[in-house]
Amino acid sequence: MKRIIVTGGAGFLGSHLCERLLNEGNYVISIDNFFTGSKENIKHLFDNKNFESIRYDITEPIHIECDEIYNFACPASPIHYQRNPIHTFKTSVLGILNMLNLARECKARILQASTSEVYGDPLEHPQKESYWGHVNPNGIRSCYDEGKRGAETLMMDYYREYNTDIKIIRIFNTYGPRMNENDGRVVSNFIIQAIKNMPITVYGDGSQTRSFCYCDDLIDGAVKMMNNDNFIGPVNLGNTYEMTVLEFAKKIIDMTNSKSQIIFKNLPKDDPIKRQPDITLAKEKLNWNPNYKLEEGLKKTIEYFNNYINKI
């Protein structure tokens, strides 16, 4: 039985990861400061004797015996990471520094959940791992974009200097049950607005593109990466099926039988115009490919938000 730490374990993706790792017979320790994570996401795991939840902020050092560390701690939506940008940056940079030191101490393998935001507003499309990005270093999104880039730098430097056992994944737009309803992301925004028959807010003219990956597929890729002995990354994990935000809004209206109208608002600063992963490397090195069709994943997500709204 491996002892596995999941930082951000009470978050949207972290909670799905904890569940997966427990189902595989591991002892799982969730570390979360509950800034955006929620006990609701993991309360169904509390009775599992192999699960532990610790309220803690990884910007401070921590010492726990472990075999593996999945570092998923960091607000991932603009509304939340811009709410306290200095703390967001500290979570990415000081957080990974503390986790890398813990990995060295325990001789543990560590996986960093990086992001497609390291590519910024990309000039290359689709984005390959070899692309260095087009990032504004002093804009309102920089706390997240540059924080994650800095975290990748530290991962690689610990690998080169101390031979730390590292893995880096770059997560593209991911959705599914347990998304935070107030995180301002396009999937949760549109679904909630549609269920409530409220106007659906599209920023800009809706021609910007996104590619959406269902959470179970993403977690599968992360676990495959952690268990791969011959590849450190970085590797893109995401779905290659690309569509415009306007097309996506219409799909949500259709799938929820909503009476919502679409309204247009100004595009936020530094919002990426195109986002689509090149996953050739993930296919080749991890034998990974997303399995969920968009409609299949959206059906589960709409059902989750329907139940959530009915409970309120």
Question: Active-site residues: which are they?
Answer: 144
Residue 25: CB atoms within 10 A of its CB come to: 9
Question: Phi and psi for 242 in degrees, rounded to 5?
Answer: -105, 140
Residue for token pair 């997303």: 290
How far apart CA 12 and CA 213 sit, in angstroms, is: 13
Per-position b or e across 132-146, b if 16+ CB within 10 A of its CB:
ebebeeeeebbbbbb
> Checking phi first, is residue 203 left (phi over 0); if not, alpha (psi -120 to 50) or beta?
beta
At residue 43, the 3 state secondary structure works out as: helix
Reduced 3-state DSSP string for 198-246: CCEEEECCCCCEEECEEHHHHHHHHHHHHCCCCCCCCEEECCCCEEEHH
Residue for token pair 């427990």: 22
Residue 61 C-alpha from the chain's centroid? 23
Give the max Cα distance, the chain. Answer: 58
